[in-house]
Amino acid sequence: QVHVVESGGGSVQAGGSLRLSCAASGSYRNDYSMGWFRQAPGKEREGVACIAKDGQTRYQPSVEGRFTISQDNDRRTVYLQMNRLNPEDTGMYYCAVDDSDGICSIKSRYYNYWGQGTQVTVSS
């Protein structure tokens, strides 16, 4: 079993920044991919960014250039640096682990292990 814990959410004004962290433990292996997802009230969950074992990254177009996903050397902690936040970025942010071997995806169906989420609220 892989355990995933997010942290770092909070409330900021538009234009501000937040950095989310995600720690994976348990039976996690450092060749897994990790991704960030978010869900706004009344909307479906959507992929935000992911990072594969080789460091390849993918982003949702609406966050590209504003958000950066990165990882520690041991690949057990992944970060999401979010800059120039706007109210449309508000939502619950989830970290997830994809235990298949391959490139990372921002489609949730590839991820088997999920954290409880951390709330991000951006006010105008």
Reported as a single tens digit per residue, the pLDDT across 16-70 is: 999 999 999 998 888 899 999 999 999 999 999 999 989 999 999 999 999 999 9
Nearest 5°: phi and psi at 123? -100, 150
- Of 40, 86, 91, 45, nearest to 63 by C-alpha is 86
According to the model, what pLDDT value does residue 74 have? 86
Task: Say which amino acid occupies 50.
Answer: C
Task: State mean pLDDT over 89-106.
Answer: 92
Residue 102 pLDDT more than 80? Answer: no
What value does the mean pLDDT of the chain take? Answer: 95
According to the model, what pLDDT value does residue 30 have? 83
Residues 6+ apart with CB under 8 A from 20: 6, 7, 8, 9, 36, 79, 80, 82, 93, 95, 118, 120
